[in-house]
Structure 1
Amino acid sequence: MENKTNELIQPLLERAKQHGLAIDPASIKINESGLDFLAVFAKTTAGVPWVLRSPRRPDVAAATSYERDVLRFLQPRILFEVPDWQLYDESIIGYPLLGGTPLATINMEIMDYEWYLQKDALPERFYETLAQALVSLHSVDDREARAAGVRVTPAGELRGEALKMMEAAREAFGVSAPLWERWQRWLADESYWPRHACMTHGDMHPGHILVQPDGEVTGLLDWTEGAVSDPAKDFIILRMLWGEDGLRDFIARYERAGGRVWPRMAEHIAEWEAFYPAMIAAFAVKSGLPEYEAMARSSLGVE
């Protein structure tokens, strides 16, 4: 195990050294749970905690420059923390450790979350500050985002973007008839869809949400999917975790915090959840990971 660990992290530590970062070997902790990155948590010889990330696949490495640009754009415009990439090339990303702890991490042995705070007993402070964080993000000027090189899908093109993903999933793996018909009904009914697009995170799973022990949300990680797009995307996983009632309660908090809502927002998010197999399919195609190809076929109903 020690040899395997050394093989994993030695190239990363060498790259950090080449960038002028001196790491204390005794402080190193490895997190292998990320699908896209190997992460190392360590302190410098001066005692400053850092995060070092190494892309696991060529497609991830190629996308890092976009994430760097998104972070640079967002940092002065939002009310929560995001990583400040002080080391960067296509083989290494390094930044001082942010405050807070991921709400949950994935245990690869059981393929499920291990929660830092209790999933079903989260404090009010968590919901309040998560709503505030999303309002802060969704209020970023989309014209400035476009000018900074952030991907932008205007509101009038959201359905077209979803249709392309549906067709790509069907071409790659196939889609069951009932699921395809549901997707088409959703696309055809404009009353589901928002009349605005906004800056979104795009992958709000609990491992990307940093919290304090009292539940306060202090930061968001992993901005590879950051884009101006459908605001509902930032609620999909929240619905998966807390169900319909929990989602509607959170939408009300989001609206009170200043978020822009529309009559069928909760129903639209439910349809996005039904669309999630197409997102899995897109990741499976991009990554080439066999386990995600199998997951895509299963979720698309074509096993």
Structure 2
Amino acid sequence: MPPSAESMLREARENGLDLRDQYEIDQSGWDYLVLHATATDGADWILRAPRHTDGLYLPAEGRLLDHVRPLLPVAVPDWRINTGTLVAYPKLPGAQADMRWTPTDDLLGRTIAIMHALPTEPVRALGVPVFTPDGQRKWIADLIEQARAEYVIADERLRRWQDWLDATDRWPPDMVLARGDLHPQHLLVEGGRLVGLIDWADATIGDPAMDFTDPYANFAPAVFERLLADYERHGGHVWPGMREHIALRASLEPVINGLYGVETGRTDLIEQAREQLSRSR
């Protein structure tokens, strides 16, 4: 049964968190129903419940958060309740960024660089999924084949993707801890400045470019170039062809959205994907 606000509040109370009945529901996420609630002592809390429990979520997320919390210059959630069907943590400072947010300093680039420099063996031991370069390419190729079964995809788009998948020398040889899905709704900002990163369920040891696809799609070109410069200045590796590689990863968005639309019956996503994938670019 899908979660509801009432079932989430009830489970929180069963686990020792007494919340007031007033709350705000956030339906924007694909994977989780989120409540913004206040405890009887006045503290603000975030509650998350998976919309379906079919293994799509990162079981190691809580352990990963504990691992990176003291290592990053921005805040991450501190899970106080984790039952498998409910996560609850004290609300972090800041508010979710909107699509118009532009970094005012180098903190985003610095944070990504620090994360990518972390040793991967301890992260692997936490149970975070691991991709090799070949595994990344196979995952993408499988997504494209699934999309071809559902949508008409322009020949030029397919050719560009196939050339990219075949050109193994254009892919990064070293996999890193990649947060993945750095969409504005997962960035907490205060006074224009990044202060936190939430919702780490998409984290993997994988392609570092995954942490640049959302900034590439949402930032103005000059802002994106500044982000890459900040990343490199703080020790991140910018390899030849990285910009094109990021752009090609970003071009998969209609595939991912379109397949999710088919899975969930979201006609808006299906129509959008159909229109986008029929174009050469």
Report the TM-score, using the length of structure 2 for normalisation. 0.88
Which residue of 2 is the match for residue 23 of structure 1? 19
Structure 2 runs not aligned, ≥5 long: none
2:91 corresponds to 1:97: yes
**Is the contact made by 1:191 and 1:264 (CA closer than 8 Å) also made in structure 2?**
no
* C-alpha separation in 2, matches of 1:278 and 1:270: 14
SS of 2:33's partner is strand
- The worse-fitting range, judged by mean Cα deviation, of 258-267 and 236-245 is 236-245
Q: Give the unaligned 5+ runs of structure 1.
A: 1-6, 105-112
Identity of aligned residues (%): 31
- Map 1:263-274 → 2, pairs under 5 A: 263-274=240-251
* Equivalent residue, structure 1, for 2:140: 162
Q: 2:43 aligns with which of 40, 43, 48?
A: 48
User: What is the match of residue 280 of structure 1?
Assistant: 257
Distance in 2, Cα, partners of 1:70 & 1:166: 30
**Are the aligned partners of 2:113 and 2:234 in contact in 1 as well (CA < 8 Å)?**
yes
Aligned 8 A contact 2:180 2:204 in 1: yes
Out of 116, 127, 135, the residue aligned to residue 138 of structure 1 is: 116
Q: Give the aligned partner of residue 300 of structure 1.
A: 277
Deviation at 1:62, TM superposition (A): 5.6
SS state at 2:47 partner? strand
Q: Greater share of helix residues, 1 or 2?
A: 1
In the TM superposition, what whole-angstrom CA distance separates every residue of 1:72-118 from its partner, at most 9, and x where no partner exists? 443344332211121122332111111121112xxxxxxxx5x5xxx
Give the 5 Å matches for 1:229-244: 229-244=206-221
The CA RMSD measured in Å over matched residues stands at 2.4
Amino acid at match of 2:13: K
CA distance in 2, matches of 1:300, 1:123: 31
Cα separation, 2, equivalents of 1:137 and 1:282: 29
Q: Does 1:259 align with 2:254?
A: no
TM-score normalized by the length of structure 1: 0.82
- Asked if 1 retains the 8 angstrom alpha-carbon contact of 2:128 and 2:204, the reply is yes
> How many corresponding residue pairs?
277
Which residue of the partner structure matches residue 13 of structure 1? Answer: 9
2:190 is matched with 212
For 2:135 and 2:49, how far apart are their aligned partners in 1? 34
SS at match of 1:245: helix
